[in-house]
Amino acid sequence: MIKALRTSSLGDILGIGLVLFIAVFSLILLIAPSIIVVIISFDTRAFVSFPPEGFTLRWYAEVFEQTELVGAMWTSLKVGLMVTALCIVLGVPTALACVRGKFRGTTALSVFVLVPHMVPGIVLGVAVLFAGALVGVSPSIWLQAVSIAVFIMAVMVRTVQSRLVRLDPALEEAATNLGASSFQSLRTITFPLLLPAILAGAVFTFVEGFDNLSVAIFTHGFRDRPLPVELLALVQYTSTPLVAAVSGVQILLAILALVAVSMSIGLDKVNE
């Protein structure tokens, strides 16, 4: 908070007023579409229109009657979990090596891990599809999960890294000096201290795995289409509030994820 600002001229007040006006407008802009979608999802009419005419839960019921949609949700759920698991197994040790490593090239390693995330998702997706075709690996739920994991791993590494940097290595040294093996000190000291960062990383990697389109659209299996691919088709070819209901479900999940993040590390730590 800034206190005690003086000498407010008219131009000053107008300028700051304009800045704050745009800020409030932007905040409304951020949330308004989601609110409108949720309202639409309860409309009784079979076409999308605003304002709604009545209240019904019909579209929510219909979401769970559509076998393709439910199948796509399961696929995305599986991909999300696979991506998260891969990112934890591969990313957390990498973060350890980047921060605690005593070898030359720790910086190079950190940069190398970031590279796939800097390549546009669509380029990575196309590249993986072509490479797979060349060696005879066709698109599947596995290919999708592995390529999204590679794409998003940087987020896990960076989240864990930023927490690890602030941990005092003396804590582990103390454990080792008291007779613990490296593995024991990692398990009983470092890992519990890193857990909030790993959890936060897990939330973001899961969301990416569940919801990635740019990589998934090229790498998903033809029998198990993930939710974003299914949704894209649905939005293009249907005009009922069904998609709004799917959105309603996703928005609910997003709120749950937000609560999870704010309970594990706190919202304000998210973008460190």
Contacts of 6 (CB under 8 A, 6+ apart): none
The least distance separating other proteins from the CB of residue 102, rounded to whole angstroms, comes to 4
The least distance separating other proteins from the CB of residue 164, rounded to whole angstroms, comes to 10
The least distance separating other proteins from the CB of residue 59, rounded to whole angstroms, comes to 13
The least distance separating other proteins from the CB of residue 89, rounded to whole angstroms, comes to 7
Question: Which residue, 55 or 105, has its beta carbon nearer to other proteins?
Answer: 105
Structure tokens at 153: 């791993």
Question: Which residue, 199 or 213, has its beta carbon nearer to other proteins?
Answer: 213
Distances (CA, A) of 147 to 67, 129, 201, 249: 26, 10, 17, 26
Question: Which residue, 44 or 181, has its beta carbon nearer to other proteins?
Answer: 181
The least distance separating other proteins from the CB of residue 166, rounded to whole angstroms, comes to 15
The least distance separating other proteins from the CB of residue 255, rounded to whole angstroms, comes to 7
The least distance separating other proteins from the CB of residue 15, rounded to whole angstroms, comes to 4
The least distance separating other proteins from the CB of residue 262, rounded to whole angstroms, comes to 9
Provide the residue type at 96 as one letter.
L
Contacts of 221 (CB under 8 A, 6+ apart): 138, 139, 140, 141, 143, 144
Contact 204, 159 (CB under 8 A): yes
Contacts of 145 (CB under 8 A, 6+ apart): 78, 79, 82, 83, 86, 209
Contacts of 208 (CB under 8 A, 6+ apart): 80, 83, 148, 151, 152, 155
Side-chain-facing half-sphere of 3: CA atoms under 13 Å: 0
Contact 139, 77 (CB under 8 A): no
Which of 164, 152, 79, 89 has its CA nearest to residue 115?
152
**Count of residues in the chain:** 272
DSSP 8-class letter at 92: H
